[in-house]
Amino acid sequence: MGDSVVLAFLLTLLAGLATGIGSILAFFTSTTNTKFLSFALGFSAGVMIYVSMIEIFVKAQDALVSALGEKDGNWAVVGGFFGGMILIALIDKFIPQQTNPHEIKKVEEVQSLGVTKDPSLMKMGTFTALAIGIHNFPEGIATFASALQDPKLGVAITVAIAIHNIPEGIAVSAPIYFATGSKKKAFRLSFLSGLSEPIGALAAFFVLMPFLNDVIFGLIFSSVAGIMVFISLDELMPAAKKYDEAHTSIYGLIGGMAVMAVSLLLFI
């Protein structure tokens, strides 16, 4: 159990700190590679949707039906699935649109302002960092719980979440950098915003682990599936389409599903 806990925590930490990659890219990229961004976000959505519906939902269903019986177990897994969607929807609802981490901006949109010393730009970056912290907390729980139960799932989810955390890092660091002229301050705040995912992992370990049984596990997994499907459909795919070139985002979506499908088959 000790090694699996360490691996689950490290994977969650890796996913969260991908915001730092986005922060660095914001400093050294003068224009956004929209084709790559569209494909990457679509790919991340494809991984999340496929693994949620084909693997995570099924594992949750098996656990809950085993513990509660066929009728109650199936009702519980559906309740957990839509409960996860409601949770992440409520979190998004209370994040102002202008600071929502998934309202992705191109780097050049902020760079065009130059180093302005504008307090409103600094405020936007700070609130975006806070919004990412709140938003990524349940993602940390999802990554940790998934990796703890099944390391191959944990790796897949880590990759998907890390990809979609990169533009979040840009959304934090770019406005702060161009408000202050300080790369160090921009990187630090972007880096710290990603730490909410390992904090979510710690919360899962200390709060949920003592009570973990088939029912709790099944409810967590069904909720994780709902959260990931919601993020994919409400945030990743619209963002991918925003910067779409032809059908790039859909190719990314299909590619993500295909890679996830093959990787799961390799572990059978």
Indicate the residue type of 221: F
139 labelled as ligand-binding? yes
Q: Side chain identity at 186, as an amino acid letter? A: A
Alpha helices per DSSP H over the chain: 2-28, 34-50, 57-68, 70-93, 107-111, 119-149, 151-180, 183-194, 196-203, 214-231, 237-242, 248-266
Query: How would DSSP label each residue in 174-192?
Result: HHHHHHH--HHHHHHHHHH
Classify residue 172 by burial, with Cβ atoms within 10 Å: 0-12, 13-18, 19+.
buried
6 by Cβ neighbours in 10 Å (0-12 / 13-18 / 19+) ranks as exposed
Residues 108, 76: Cα–Cα separation, whole Å? 47
197 is in an annotated binding site: yes
- Say whether 136 counts as a known binding-site residue: yes
Calpha distance 130→142 (Å, rounded) = 19
Query: Closest Cα to residue 3, out of 136, 154, 137, 138?
Result: 154
Binding residues for Fe(2+): 136, 139, 165, 168, 197
Mark the binding-site residues for Zn(2+), compressed into ranges: 139, 164, 168
Which residue numbers belong to the known binding site? 136, 139, 164-165, 168, 197
